[in-house]
Amino acid sequence: MTHPAVPLLADLIRRPSITPIEDGVLDVLEAFLSPLGFACTRLKFEGDGSYPVDNLYATRKGKEPGPHLLFAGHTDVVPPGDAAAWTHDPFSGAIVDDVMWGRGATDMKSGVAAFCGALAQLAQTGGWEKGAVSLAITNDEEADAVNGTKKLMEWAEAQGEKYDFAIVGEPSSFEIFGDSIKIGRRGSASGKITVIGKQGHAAYPQRANNPMPVIAEIVRALYVPLDNGTEHFQPTNLEVTSIDTGNPASNVIPERTTLRFNVRFNDTWTGETLLAEIHRRLAEVDTRGCAIAFEQIGPISRCFISQPEGHVARLCDVMEAFNGVRPQLSTIGGTSDARFISLYCPVVECGLIGATMHQVDERVPVADVERLAEFYALYVEKFLSGEPA
């Protein structure tokens, strides 16, 4: 018998919800969750220099008091690229040889469908009458992430919602389902450094002031290691991503050059202390008479960690009992919406293998979706009841 998560995933994939276009994908979820007893609230947030975003908050309170579990995920997807390069239509949700194809099949409509399917399973067994389960679903994770989960969590807090633990259904496994969960993420900060000199003829350098030697010294200063890593995190890593003069001529000394960089930082730093360190290094560079300007690009994403004890350890216990493998605790990768949720409760990312996410021919084995849904159902039941793994 097909698990209800599978047709739901196909329905979600058939909605081309490329950020921030919702295209009815939240209607599909609301229609699925409402008959299960969930109170669904649709919320549109806008402003703060970004596009309007549709979001869904759904909650169900059991008959008895107990813990509150939050599931968070996103329904928006990245563009498919050249659709002609796909083996199957990227928005078909086609199942061929027990594999479902389509954009979002891995990242992360499968996680959303599996969790909702798990709730449908619990509705049949009655294993969720203690406590509460809520879902925070956004259509803005893959791009700006300004009017999505961040504001959704702020709204929920204003309604008096409090959570004991949260799961984000992002792909987190490496080789087999359940071999890894993510308990934290490094922070991210980006910046632009401009060095302004004086333009001139390359044959008369004494009449100019070339900013290029200064930018070279800045690169050298930036690449001095920031730390050696911490218990749960890799060393902080800074990468220069571009150096540009906008100068098409080989015999002209440019007036200015611009460097862009990104830093992925661990819990040694906050955004403020990291930027202070970068400014300190810039102040030590010999400017050779040039002017140096620094500009932060975009907001800083904070580093966070959910401690391995308590709810995290219990989830690992359930996964080990279910899967036969105890998951590794990982913090690698880029940013995710878990960073916003970590301000309100401990949070982990627990989902499928992400091998094909963002690629042409993104796809997922149907059996993996069913297995994830079965695990979610087991975990939710044990979380709400307080039973051991």
- pLDDT, tens only, 92-113: 999 999 999 999 999 999 999 9
Is 81 a residue whose pLDDT tops 70?
yes
Told to judge if 320 belongs to the known catalytic residues of this protein, a careful annotator would answer no
Residue 175 labeled ligand binder: no
Question: Is residue 49 scored above 70 in pLDDT?
Answer: yes
- 5-185+303-385 and 187-301, same CATH topology: no
Q: Is 170 annotated as a binding residue?
A: yes
Active-site position among 76, 255, 267, 381: 76
Residue 145 has pLDDT above 70, yes or no: yes
Range 25-34 contact pairs with CB under 8 angstroms and sequence separation of 24 or more: 25/75, 25/139, 26/54, 26/55, 26/56, 26/75, 26/137, 26/139, 29/56, 29/58, 29/75, 29/112, 29/116, 29/137, 30/56, 30/58, 32/8, 32/116, 32/120, 33/58, 33/116, 33/119, 33/135
> In the chain, where are the structural domains located?
5-185+303-385, 187-301
> What DSSP assignment string belongs to 355-383?
TTTTSTT-EEEHHHHHHHHHHHHHHHHHH
Per the annotation, does 97 bind a ligand? no
Q: Which CATH architecture has domain 5-185+303-385?
A: 3-Layer(aba) Sandwich (3.40)
Q: What type of residue sits at position 190?
A: S
Please give the pLDDT value at position 31.
98
Mean pLDDT, residues 213-242: 97
Q: Is 142 labeled as ligand-binding? A: yes
- Measure the CA–CA gap between 298 and 300, rounded to whole angstroms: 7
- Helices 109-125 & 366-385 angle (0-180, nearest 10): 50
Average pLDDT, the chain: 96
Active-site residue flag, 141: yes
- CATH fold for the domain made of 187-301: Alpha-Beta Plaits (3.30.70)
pLDDT at 388 over 80: no
Residue 107 marked ligand-binding? yes
Higher pLDDT, 388 or 27: 27
- In this predicted model, what pLDDT tens digit does every residue of 168-193 receive, in sequence order? 999 999 999 999 999 999 999 999 99
Q: Catalytic residue, from 140, 141, 368, 381: name it.
A: 141
Kindly give, in sequence order, each residue whose CB lies less than 8 Å from that of residue 291, ignoring residues fewer than 6 positions away: 195, 196
| 2-31 residue pLDDT tens | 899 999 999 999 999 999 999 999 999 999
Contact assessment for residue 333 and residue 64, using Cβ atoms and an 8 Å cutoff: no
Residue 389, pLDDT score: 61
pLDDT at 63: 86
Element of type H or E holding 188: strand 187-196
